[in-house]
Amino acid sequence: MRNENHLGIAFQIWSGPQTWFWFVVNPHQNGGAIGAAASEADAVREACLSIEEISAQVRPAAINRNDECMPSLICWKGALENLNRFLAAFNHATV
């Protein structure tokens, strides 16, 4: 088993009979991703893509965070503002 790092997130790769496996822990949630690939290079590439997806999901949450939100809770104020904008646009489109 080999430990690697991409965008500050660690992942592991290891080989089995004719298969390479990869494992990424999502440091922002209880979970992660695991996969299998035909080659070592494919396993590294897929793990890196998974990390980039995790990072892309975290970035918008960090941008939309305001001082009234606690990191472990959903930011209801932002969600309600988004809902309000959606409903206003929907109402405008149906009028």
**Domain around 38:** 1-62
Q: How confident is the model at residue 28 (pLDDT cuts 50, 70, 90)?
A: confident
- Does 8 share its domain with 37? yes
- Does 18 share its domain with 45? yes
- Does 34 share its domain with 73? no
Q: What per-residue confidence (pLDDT) applies to 45?
A: 93
**Mean per-residue pLDDT, 22-36:** 85
- Does 72 share its domain with 95? yes
φ/ψ of residue 32, rounded to 5: 175, -155
pLDDT digits (tens, 9 = 90+) for 43-94: 999 999 998 988 887 655 555 555 444 443 445 556 666 667 767 776 666 6
Q: How confident is the model at residue 1 (pLDDT cuts 50, 70, 90)?
A: confident
- Does 89 share its domain with 47? no
Number of domains into which the chain is organized = 2
Q: What is the DSSP annotation of 27-93?
A: TTSS-EEEEEESSHHHHHHHHHHHHHHHHHHHHHHHHH--TT--TTS--HHHHHHHHHHHHHHHHHH
